[in-house]
Structure 1
C-alpha cells in the first residue's frame, strides 16, 4: 500500500495543515527504517502511529523531533521545513515513557527550568506554572519532589513541562505504557481533555490498539516501515484495508470461503439454529454480562461470535447452529 495519506482527507475541510511529512525516508545501517512517508496532520488533531514493535512508528516521531536525521525527504511545521534545525530549535516538545524529571529538583524547579533558559520573567513563569498545574490536575505540588508522586502524577508533570514551552506539536512516545491499566485509562481521558482545552496538535505513538482507538482523531497503522492504512478509528475498525490491519485492530475472525478470506468481527456474525450460510457446532458458551461469547467449530476453524443474551442463553455446547455473515471485508486468498 502507498505510504500517502488517504481516507478522511475530505473531512479535514479547510483546517490548517500543522505538520506535513513529504517523501520522507530514514534508513538505518542494518537496513531497517521507514520508506517514502507522506502524511498531513491538521491543526488541533490527535494522530496516532500504531503498530507492532519495530514497525517504524518511533523512528518517525524522532525524525520530527530532530533526534534522528532523515535520509531523504522533508518535514514541515506550519509550512516551514525543520529538517535542518537542531532539536532545541524545533517547535516541538516530546514526552517519553520514562518521565525524565530531575529527582533533586522540586516540581516547580522541574517546570521552570526550560522557561528560565528562555529568559522568561519570573512573574510570568509563576503564573504559567500555576495555570498549567491546574490544567493537569496537579495544583499544590510545586514544592514536592518527583519521588513523592505516583507514576501517573509524574507523567502529568512531564506533560505539563512540555506544554509550558508552548510547542506547535506535542510528541508522545508510548507515554502511558509503564502505568497500570486503571491509571493508563485515566491518563488517556486526561490527555483528550487537555488537548481539547488547549487546541494543540498531538502526535502519539503506541502499540496498544485500544489506546489508539480511544484517543485518536486519526490512526496511522504501520507495518514493516510502511503505512498500511490511515483513517479515523471508525474507518480503521469497520473498513480494514489489509489483512494486517484487520488482525491488528480488535478481535477478528478469518473465514476461508471460495477464493477469499472473509474478515468478520465477532459481533457481526449472526447465530441461528435454522437459517444461515455456514454450518457449525457450538464449542463454548461464556456469559460476559450483557452479552454471550460463543465459539463455533466450522470445519477445522474456530469462530468467535458475540450474541445477545436472548439468543446466547439458549445455546448449548455441542448444538448445531448456522452462521450468517453480516458486515465484513473480503481479501483474496493471496493477500
Structure 2
C-alpha cells in the first residue's frame, strides 16, 4: 500500500453542550487505505466523520488532506464526499438527475456529465437505470446510486456513515464486497463508520476501536482481534471468555483457542453443559468452577462428547487483563 499520508487529524476536539463528543483525536490515513471507525452508538465515530466532512465544526485541532488544513472550509469546498445511512437521494429526480446535480453545480459540460454518469453506473453495476426514480429501486440499489453520486465528485477522501446498516444481511455482504472492489480498483481513500464488528473486520485495512469519545486501539483487523490493547477491545471484538482466576485479574481466551478433551487436567476442567451446532462450527458450553466457558469445535469433534461429561480445556492462546 502507498505510504503517503492522505488524511491526518491532529489533536482534534469536538465537544457538544452536554459534554459528549471526542477529545484529542489523532489519526493518519494513507492513500488508498480503507479505515474503519468502530464502536457502539454514542462513542464519537460519526462525530469524527462529520468534522472531516465539514458538517460539524471542531473546537480545536487540525484536519489535513494532502498536507493542507481544511478545518475552516465549508463542506462544499472540501475535497471530500459523504454517503449517509439514509441514501439522501432526491425522490422527485431521476437517477440521472440525482447524479448530475453535483456536477452541474461544478459547471461540468453537459456531454462530459452524461459520459461520466454512464461510466459510474457501470462501475456500481447499475447500467440502464438513468430514467428510474429512487422509489422504483430497492434499498441496495439506492445505496449504490448514493455511492455513485459521491464517486462522481472524485473526492480525495470518501466518507461513509453506516451506509449498509438499513440493508438485509445478504445484500449488506454483497455491498461490502462491491465497495471493497471499487475502492481498491480506484485506489481511493475511505473512512468508514460502523458499529458492526464483522463489517469492520471484513472491510478494513485498519480499524480504529472507539470508546466514549476516545480511541482505544488502532491496528489491522488481525491486530485488534488477536492482540487487543485493552479489556474493552477484547470484549467488543468477537467472542471472548473472561475467566476470573484471581481477584481483579481475568484470563481472556477466545472460544476457537480452546481444545476440549475427555477427562481432567488441562488449563481448566468442568462439565459439558450444552452442545449447539452453529453452521460451520459447534459451540460447547462448559461449566467450570470459575463459571461458564465457551469453546468452538468442529462437528466431528463435538460428536465425541455428551452433556454432563467431565472434560479438560486446553488454551492455545490467552491474555491477562486487570479490572
Name the TM-score, length of structure 2 as normaliser.
0.97
Question: Is residue 2:255 matched to residue 1:255?
Answer: no
Instruction: Say whether the 8 Å CA contact 2:270–2:288 is kept in structure 1.
Output: yes
Match of 1:266 in 2: 255
1:289 positional shift:
4.2
Instruction: Say whether the 8 Å CA contact 1:269–1:323 is kept in structure 2.
Output: yes
Question: Is residue 2:282 matched to residue 1:287?
Answer: no
Match of 2:268 in 1: 278
Cα RMSD of the aligned pairs, angstroms, is 1.2
Q: Which runs of 5+ in 1 are unaligned?
A: 1-11
Q: 1:131 aligns with which of 110, 119, 129?
A: 119
Match of 1:5 in 2: none
Map 1:1-335 onto structure 2 (within 5 A).
Answer: 15-258=3-246, 260-274=249-263, 275-332=265-322, 334=323
Q: Which runs of 5+ in 2 are unaligned?
A: none
1:127 aligned counterpart, secondary structure: helix
Instruction: Say whether the 8 Å CA contact 2:79–2:156 is kept in structure 1.
Output: yes
Name the TM-score, length of structure 1 as normaliser.
0.94
1:239 positional shift:
0.5
Which shows bigger deviation, 254-263 or 144-153?
254-263
Q: For each residue in 1:173-220, what CA deviation from the matched residue of structure 2 results, as whole angstroms up to 9, or x when unmatched?
A: 011111111111111011101101111000000000001111110000
Q: Which consecutive segments of 4 or more residues in structure 1 shift more than 6 A?
A: none
1:290 positional shift:
4.1
1:303 positional shift:
0.8
| Cα distance in structure 2, aligned partners of 1:192 and 1:162 | 15
Instruction: Say whether the 8 Å CA contact 1:291–1:312 is kept in structure 2.
Output: no
2:296 aligned counterpart, secondary structure: strand
2:190 aligned counterpart, secondary structure: strand
| Cα distance in structure 2, aligned partners of 1:322 and 1:244 | 28
Q: 1:289 to 1:23 in 2, by over 3 A?
A: closer
Instruction: Say whether the 8 Å CA contact 2:272–2:285 is kept in structure 1.
Output: yes
1:230 positional shift:
0.4
| Cα distance in structure 2, aligned partners of 1:312 and 1:286 | 9
| Cα distance in structure 2, aligned partners of 1:289 and 1:138 | 33
Q: 1:131 to 1:226 in 2, by over 3 A?
A: same
Instruction: Say whether the 8 Å CA contact 1:292–1:313 is kept in structure 2.
Output: no
Q: For each residue in 1:35-57, what CA deviation from the matched residue of structure 2 results, as whole angstroms up to 9, or x when unmatched?
A: 10101000000000000000000
2:101 aligned counterpart, secondary structure: helix
Q: For each residue in 1:263-318, what CA deviation from the matched residue of structure 2 results, as whole angstroms up to 9, or x when unmatched?
A: 11101011112341211110001233443211000125111101133421111100
